Structure 1
């Protein structure tokens, strides 16, 4: 679904955001070249969805809370809801989604989710705040899921692209099964120190999930030309994903991961959850800088 897009810009960078899902819809350099995937459904219709109140999947898409059973689809419902535009300036836009009768059918908590996009020079910063407005503790997970062009415009061949982490990243690495649930096995990462050369065979078994990466920043790009410096705060996990052969790569900082196949049915039993006390809030950010 496409609402009227909200545009913010500087001379070096421009972004368009769809209020439906508060999803980054387009990111372009100063020459108008696209850095973000265009959502072609032949590969994947997403562009940069926000994952809330869960990241990944639950067994049978169900969980229990206070003696009731609820259904939540993969990656939650925020990406399928219209956000209110609460602030709009030439280089800044803020969006809000609050709990209502429909969200409480799937997630019985009084939340407020705010998303702010701000451009300064050649940098886009996205800040997300999750607040618990209810009278009981609120479990939640959150994740970013942006898909960047692979190859980036002007950055050489697809086969020349790589991710360079801020620190060495030996793993452990996790994988999901055919149902999208987290496998128990932990394995070494296919990195060479800080370097992860990108190739399709890495993604035959779905995403690379860094359970506890040392890095909170990385660089993505080709052998020459422009690259993207990406950093994040408050998000201890990292997914990297594409479909083999697809012209995009998703770089996804998360707080939370898919449930394991034998995970307890109660949402509050998940070890990777945020647990927000009544009246509390948590904030996360992701920054993309064009270099």
Structure 2
């Protein structure tokens, strides 16, 4: 089935969003330069998938609930699901995902997921809301997974780029182990508030910040145009690429993979948000174009 793409454009930024996964698939600056990774499957076919109702993996890729095992792949089903496009204009697009039989086989909980994209000045906002229309608490996680070009189109090599954190990050970071969260931590490379990313950082997969202090990160070559990623309500973060790949993912999360060795039922999984019956939970991030990442 052919998909639908919504285009937002205010002259400062242009964004395109697919109804498949409600995924941002293109982001350009006011001069038409691409900022978002273009999804080359030789490295990684994703661009900016939305992660729901899990972030990372479950043991054996199974959700255990009330003694029943439900197969669910890494990062959940939202990124592979076709959303309904509810509204679109040049500065805003709203998508919605509701359960169907395929989804219910994976996730035995009632939910409604709505995702709104908006442009204001040089900022793209992404706001997700998960509603619980059911009669029991809804356990879920949500994550953003945007991949940006590395290097960005403003001059400078990959080696010149920096990740500038809002605060010094001193808590240990974790790594994926078979897709699960490592039990052991390791020294945080952002202890000084800055990471100079290189291929060696990602030889053992992503950096996972489970005790994050920062809620915004600037990315780019200092003194040149770049991006700020802000995520005020998201308590965890992943930073990921592959050695030699021309993309860098800055991933705000509310949740994380199951810790290795943890075999508890899904509702007891660490990192979940438990939404009460009739309630909702909101998750948001913003991508702002900056004329100077040092400014």
TM bin, normalised by shorter chain, reads: over 0.9
**Counterparts of 2:190 and 2:233, CA distance in 1:** 24
Whether the aligned pair in 1 keeps the contact of 2:63 and 2:107 (CA below 8 Å) is no
SS of residue paired to 1:252:
strand
Q: Report what 2:22 is aligned to.
A: 22
* 1:275 and 2:271 correspond: no
Question: What does residue 133 of structure 2 align with?
Answer: 133
C-alpha displacement at 1:65, in angstroms? 0.9
Residues 137 and 4 of structure 1: is their aligned pair in 2 closer, same or farther, counting only changes over 3 Å? same
Q: Which residue of 2 aligns with 1:162?
A: 162
Mean Cα deviation higher: 25-34 or 263-272: 263-272
Per the TM alignment, residue 264 of structure 1 is displaced from its structure 2 partner at its CA by 2.3
- Tell me if the contact between 1:164 and 1:219 (Cα under 8 Å) persists in the aligned partners: yes
Query: Which residues of structure 2 form unaligned runs of 5+?
Result: 291-295
Q: Tell me if structure 1 keeps the 8 A contact 2:258–2:270.
A: no
Please identify, of 256-265 and 195-204, the stretch whose mean Cα deviation from structure 2 is larger.
256-265
1:34 corresponds to which residue?
A: 34
Alignment of 1:41-56 (within 5 A): 41-56=41-56
Tell me: CA distance 1:258–1:2, structure 2 relative to 1, closer, same or farther (3 Å).
farther
Partner-residue secondary structure (3-state), 1:159: helix
Q: Provide the rounded CA distance (Å) in 1 between the counterparts of 2:179 and 2:64.
A: 19
CA drift at 1:67 = 2.2
In structure 2, relative to structure 1, the CA distance for the partners of 1:229 and 1:2 (3 Å cut) is farther
TM-score by length of 2: 0.96
SS of corresponding position for 1:233:
coil
The match for 1:68 is 68
Aligned to 2:293: none
- Can you give the 5+ residue segments of structure 1 that lack an aligned partner in the other structure? none
SS of the residue corresponding to residue 200 of structure 2 reads helix
User: 8 Å contact 1:156–1:222 — kept in the other structure?
Assistant: yes
Deviation at 1:135, TM superposition (A): 1.0
- Which deviates the most, 78-87 or 191-200? 191-200
**Contact preservation (8 Å) 2:166, 2:215:** yes
Is 1:232 equivalent to 2:234 in the alignment? no
1:228-265 CA distance string (max 9 Å, x none): 01101321100000001100000001011111221124
Once the two structures are overlaid, the 10-residue window that deviates more, 195-204 or 223-232, is: 223-232
After superposition, the C-alpha distances for 1:43-82 in whole angstroms (9 at most, x for unaligned) are: 1000000000100001110121122111110000000000
User: Do the aligned residues in 2 keep the contact of 1:155 with 1:227 (CA within 8 Å)?
Assistant: no
Report the equivalent of 1:206: 205
Helix, strand or coil at the partner of 2:259: coil
The aligned runs of 1:1-291 (5 Å cut-off) are 3-177=3-177, 179-291=178-290
Structure 1 runs of 4+ with >4 Å offset = none
1:155–1:226 Cα contact (<8 Å) kept: no
SS in 1 for 2:79: helix
Query: How far did residue 223 of structure 1 move?
Result: 3.5
Preserved CA contact (<8 Å) 1:155 1:221: no
Report deviation, 1:104: 0.7
Question: What's the RMSD between the two structures over aligned residues?
Answer: 1.2
Q: CA deviation at 1:218?
A: 1.0
Q: Give the TM-score of the pair, scaled to structure 1.
A: 0.97
Q: Is the 8 A contact 1:4 1:18 kept in 2?
A: yes
Q: What is the CA–CA distance in structure 2 between the aligned matches of 1:168 and 1:197, rounded to whole Å?
A: 14
Mapped contact 1:191–1:197 kept (Cα < 8 A) = no
